[in-house]
Chain A
Amino acid sequence: MQKTNTVFNLALQRLRYHKSRTLLTGIAILLTTMLLMGIATVSVAMFDMNRQMASESDYHAIFDGLTPDQSAVLFRHIQVQAMGTTEIFADIENGKMNGALIYQESVRDDRYPDGEDGLAALQIESGHYPETEDEILSSPAFFRRVGAEPIIGGKVTLSFRVNGKGEIQTKEFTISGLFPDVEIAEELDDSRIMWSAHVSKALLSQYEEDGLYQPDLSVYLRVYGEEDLTYDEMEERINAAAADVGLSEENIILNKQYLFTMTDPGTEIMMIAGFICLVVILFSALVIYSIYYVGVITDVQEIGKLRALGASGRQIAGLFLCQGAVVSAFAIPAGLLIGFLLPRFLFPLVLYAYYATALTSTSRDAADALFGQIHMFSLPALFTVAAAVALTVCLSLLKPIHMAKRISPVEAIRYQENSTDRKSRKGHRQIKVTTLTFANLMRNKKRTAVTILTMGLSCVLFICVSAVLSSVSAEDMARRNIAKGDFRISLDYSRHDTEYTENNLDSLVQEDYFNDAFLAQLASIEGVEAIERDHGKILSSTEIESVMYEDYENRLPLSYFTKDDIPELNANLEQGTIDYDRMTANHEVICTHVYSFEQYGLSIGDVIPLTLHDGDREIPFTITITALTSPDSDYPLLIMTEDTWNELGLVYDPTTNIYLYVKEAQYDNVKEALTDIVAENEYFTLFSMDVEMRIGRSQVSLTVYPVYLLLALIAVISFINLINTMITSIVTRKKELGILQAIGLSDRQLVKMLSGEGLVFTTGTLIISLTLGNLSGYLLFLWAKKSHFMSISRYHYPLWESIGLALILLGGQLLISRMISRKMEKESLIDRIRVEE
């Protein structure tokens, strides 16, 4: 009893005596705990947020294109827990407005036997779901858009095309119910909004009886087993149910986000998560280890003294572990607390950021509703973090004990870094401040390496995550709609409308809307700098009906590629080969949509006879598919070489898109002018960059900001790690630096020397983080692209993040060197020389 007290008291005394070291190790432990806890808390919060958002749409899958018979079989399926159906009855015809009349029904939900809150249950603010054939239900915003007063019992007249084809019907409806109102961001162009209104089963039946409507059902489905099965097993069960009703897999749309959050993850996800945890724990272990390592010599010396006085190995281990335990007892709980509180307060800011970019009030409301509800605390996570840190501290503490054991007590007392393996040094004839810097770094290469490695690793983590984040770009998303320039005017055309043939592309090209006069009109707008046409598109019918699906309306879009496009096409090549000259010679084409390629049952080597429609002309043309690629840029389904295209001898201008480049200052004026021009022609749609960016940002923000939060945590902790390392390395050399000053090292030279050391650390760190970080970042990007994370497609080098990192490291270490030497100046030189660690 007495013994342990002695050891414990000695431990306390030592902690008190080495005040600055105690503080620094305490800070290191605290920060590491904070990082781990921060990551755990943010992860728990993100998981919970996803879970809450996912529960808004709690179906497991959508089965598309079901017939009523298949739906009936599914209804009786033993594995089905709930199902709701949605039928798109008709497309609304109202100028440029996109809209549909739909019918939705919750046909079965075993979770709610009373049928109240079924799968397809809607939140109706007032009124009821349409029952008679003239009733209609939608949001007040919808009714305002179609020029009706949004009140129950109000009348609204709508034009629509049943099944999206046939003759336009016009009908007067009575408003039977209203959804909560939706506010829509003003700059959101009409063409980007998908409106919908609900009509009654009675209406659908009436048209069906008249032979004017062919039901095309989408079924929202839940299967049993959400609580017990893993993601993979759930997927299997859903696919089995689809197979049972004769539905092929491409018609199944899994609600992946919901399934991910609600089921036990599959093995792949578990492995990835485990790997990330391991990396973070390894990283934090290194941080703590490196802090202890810097001061290890003093410990070895003290262990020598204690051993010389007769302390047993157990007592020494006890002493050091005691010290670690005391420091940890303060640092770990503090770290846990801060690591939890920091995200707790920052996470709402993330939601605010999303709130600011949200395009409709409903998504804002959703974010609003999440405030304060997100569950961020997880006891298992807390215990895991605490245990991981405690273990690391133990392992780091055993290091000096281990080192001291290898040598005799007397040697341990005199222990100097590397004293055992270096006897001499070639050295320099003349000494400069830089010589001092390097001599000190080289004295303990291992310590220098450990420090650089630790700092480097945290920055690798930073750069790696930034690489992925900077590739999640709102602009990339925007560029999908406006490939180049600031505006795009696109031609709205149908491929094969038999009822209204004037809407088809072959008719529209005869009108020559994008003629030179029109382009001249655009060019005359003040601020327009350049105008470009796209390659143009031509439609073709094919005699092989079987390869076609109905939604392509029996017309395949074709265009061409130039030699300049080959690198991009090759970079994303999935099958076959691309050889420009061979392709020209043989009329070969590339398929650019992997999904369609599979869906249409195409394969490399397919020879397809086509009829190209150049306005009123028909050109017979046989193609061979020789390559499949998935380029980032948007190409029509099939592309031939430019030379082949030119051989076609097209008479009409096939341009379907005009791109405009404008001066930034006159953007708004140009937009106004273009809006007016586009309004004059019902076939024109205007895409403007500001709107696309806004949409892109809104999509990006909710995923990206929490990760940025994490990134900021990592950055702060790496930076404090740098400070800590530098302070520790200076504090432990206080006497040596004092001697240097006693023999004439000026304050300025001291700063230069310390900055030099910091610079080496910084440079090393930067080299590691920029090489290893970028490499792993690129690999992570490839993985993210493959798994369609945030529809990442293009790699963006994290330039600003890298520059920021470099600046912060450089500035930080210069500042620290200056601050430390400033602080040292205050202590008298004599005290420093006399200091005995």
Chain B
Amino acid sequence: MKNNSDIILKTEELCKYYGAGDNLVKAVDHINLVIRQGEFITIVGKSGSGKSTLLHMLGALDNPTSGKVFLDGQNIASLKADSLSKIRRRKIGFIFQAYNLIPSLNVWENIVLPLGLDGKPLDESFIEDIIGTLGLTEKKHSLPNTLSGGQQQRCAIARAIAAKPSLILADEPTGNLDAKTGDEVMALLKTSAKKYGQTLIVITHNEEIAQMADRTIMLTDGHISFDDAASSRHNTAEEVEDHAEN
């Protein structure tokens, strides 16, 4: 028996095609996924395998060609733009490879931006806590262009966590960082997600990071070629057995 109550994200026959005829590219092709609360998942695969496209659809940044994405039981593929904005700022935290901080805002403002957009009252002690955890206390008033890459990505992580989203999506968060900084940032991301009970989905090329995850999904040409759902500590004993038999 599957426990459905802790499913946070589910896809049904999710497809994203580009072009038509001979030029048709099936970036994501009939993907069915179930992701549970608190999981730390890495998505791996070669360039062009559809990782980012999948992540964007999971994060309500892109519309699928067909299929459904259920976030907290709600099919977000059918929602209007304004509702999607709300979902993005309340339920999803994004971390990009290129940090994508807003250059005109300082570190603090960048972090509280999703909250501000939502018009939520600010839990300042919570934000201070995140900033402390990520080691940005000294840099609160700095503008992004004065920060190092690692500092910028930590700021982006803080921004992703600040609104207490249930889901954090990261697209190669350490791709622009050196190995040491990348490890630090990843450790911080994992710790924070665990600390605040958030589900973390990370796209990576980095073997070490993939190993840190509870579960790894490999994409090949838009299909899931491997999903070690069996290793997930959140799966029930029966499911592990099923998986082993398969």
Contacts and interface: CB of A to CB of B under 8 A. Distances in A.
Q: Do A and B make up one complex?
A: yes
Top 5 A-B residue pairs of the complex, sorted by shortest distance between their CB atoms: A744-B89, A431-B116, A746-B85, A443-B104, A439-B104
Interface in A46-93: none
B218 to A, nearest CB: 22
Interface in A396-441: 414, 416-417, 419, 422-433, 435-436, 439-440
Interface of A: 414, 416-417, 419, 422-433, 435-436, 439-440, 442-443, 735-736, 739-749, 825, 828-830, 833
Nearest to B85: A746
B112 A425 contact: no
Contact of A439 (B56, B90, B105, B114): B105
B100 interface: yes
In this complex, the member of B59, B89, B104, B124 whose beta carbon has the largest number of chain A beta carbons within 10 angstroms is: B104
Given A424-B106, A433-B117, A736-B102, 15 more contacts: A417-B103, A423-B146, A424-B143, A431-B113, A431-B115, A442-B104, A736-B103, A741-B85, A741-B88, A742-B96, A743-B113, A743-B117, A743-B159, A746-B82, A833-B96
Contacts of A740: 102, 113
Given A747-B85, A749-B117, A427 B146 contact: no
29 contacts: A416-B103, A417-B103, A419-B145, A423-B146, A424-B142, A425-B141, A426-B141, A427-B109, A427-B141, A431-B105, A435-B105, A439-B102, A440-B104, A736-B103, A739-B100, A742-B59, A743-B88, A743-B94, A743-B113, A743-B114, A743-B117, A744-B88, A744-B114, A744-B117, A745-B89, A746-B117, A747-B85, A749-B117, A830-B62
A748 B86 CA distance: 11
B105 A828 contact: no
A165 to B, nearest CB: 85
A445 to B, nearest CB: 11
Given A744-B89, A830-B61, A425 B82 contact: no
Contacts of A442: 104
B104 A431 contact: no
A741 B163 CA distance: 15
B241 interface: no
A430 B159 contact: no
Contact of A430 (B85, B90, B116, B143): B116
Secondary structure of the B contact surface, majority rule: helix
B122 A430 contact: yes
Given A429-B108, A431-B109, A443 B62 contact: no
B166 to A, nearest CB: 14
A481 to B, nearest CB: 62
A742 B88 contact: yes
B228 interface: no
A745 B143 contact: no
A422 B144 CA distance: 11
Interface of B: 56, 59, 61-63, 81-82, 85-86, 88-90, 94, 96, 100, 102-106, 108-109, 112-118, 122, 124, 141-143, 145-146, 159, 163
Contacts of A829: 61-62
A829 B86 CA distance: 15
Contact of B81 (A428, A432, A825): A825
Contacts of A743: 88-89, 94, 113-114, 117, 159
Given A433-B117, A743-B114, A747-B85, A425 B105 contact: yes
Nearest to B122: A430
Nearest to A747: B81
B55 to A, nearest CB: 10
B80 to A, nearest CB: 9
Contacts of B88: 741-744
Nearest to B56: A830
Given A742-B94, A829-B62, A430 B113 contact: no
A204 B2 CA distance: 126
Contacts of B141: 424-427
Nearest to B61: A829
Given A736-B102, A746-B82, A830-B56, A416 B145 contact: yes
Contacts of A428: 109
B96 to A, nearest CB: 7
Contacts of B94: 742-743
A432 B82 CA distance: 17
Contacts of A749: 85, 117
